[in-house]
Structure 1
């Protein structure tokens, strides 16, 4: 029975499905945005996808190890608590979880050689924490789904 996020999400036979699911999660989150800030997110996302159609899935795949590493302490504390769902645990700690996950993308954007990517990220970053916090229920459900599949299969 898998006990860590690394065992659940990074197993070679599971990783491609996780990358696909996280990419779909990002697409859904962007699609659901509304208002002026939503328009900015959608425009930036469309630009990134226009520059490179596989950029999002490639980025998810290349950062997945770091994202999992940043989420591992939250998963461990959820498992240790023995109560509720991982989704509930993430949302209860949404500010800290969002900061942890954004640390990965901040590092990645800073290291990008593409000025267009840096510009888009810099433009979107001020609102990013709110967007990440809003995505945590979907992320928690995604992790729970993969954990269930690993633990039953």
Structure 2
């Protein structure tokens, strides 16, 4: 298992990006109710404005995401799945990831920034819900 998550940038960046894009698609698809409809609408709008935005944004932010999660990776007890460790530290993990996306949104094109900002109030809940899948996707590649 790799000591540094940043090593994934050299060993399997495309695989990590692809798996995280699948996680994002699944999380959006799983949303229910009125807020779920808002998420799905904003997601579709972002993809319409820039096809492939999920993979390209994930690829662009991957170094910052991995750096943000490195302290949690370092503190993960042996034998504990990374997703479970992220859930156990959900506040820290979610805030670390949202710091990265907030920074990116501050320089995004207006239409993408508008879609992001419309969901930002509930973003932490969405990120926390995604942590098991995010952790599993990263660990899958880090364990190689």
Quick check: 1:98 aligned with 2:97? no
User: Per-residue deviation at 1:83?
Assistant: 4.2
**With structure 2 as the length reference, what TM-score do the two structures score?**
0.95
Q: Deviating runs (4+, > 6 A) in structure 1? A: none
Report the Cα offset of residue 141 of structure 1.
Answer: 1.0
Alignment of 1:146 with 2:141, yes or no, is: yes
- Any stretches of 5+ residues in structure 1 without a counterpart? none
Describe the SS at the equivalent of 1:33.
coil
List per-residue Cα deviations over 1:76-121 (Å, max 9, x = no partner).
011xx32422111100001110000000000000011x11111111
- The unaligned stretches of length 5 or more in structure 2 are none
Give the whole-Å Cα distance in 2 for the aligned partners of 1:139 and 1:118. Answer: 23
In our comparison, the structure showing a higher alpha carbon Rg is: 1
CA distance in 2, matches of 1:83, 1:2: 15
* TM-score scaled by length of structure 1: 0.90
Q: Which residue of 2 aligns with 1:24?
A: 22
- Provide the alpha-carbon RMSD of the alignment: 1.1
SS at match of 1:10: helix
Contact 2:27 / 2:130 at 8 angstroms: preserved in 1? Answer: yes
Q: Distance in 2 between matches of 1:110 and 1:6?
A: 24
Q: What CA distance in whole angstroms lies between the structure 1 residues aligned with 2:128 and 2:141?
A: 20
Q: Distance in 2 between matches of 1:120 and 1:85?
A: 33
1:47 lines up with 2:42 in the alignment: no
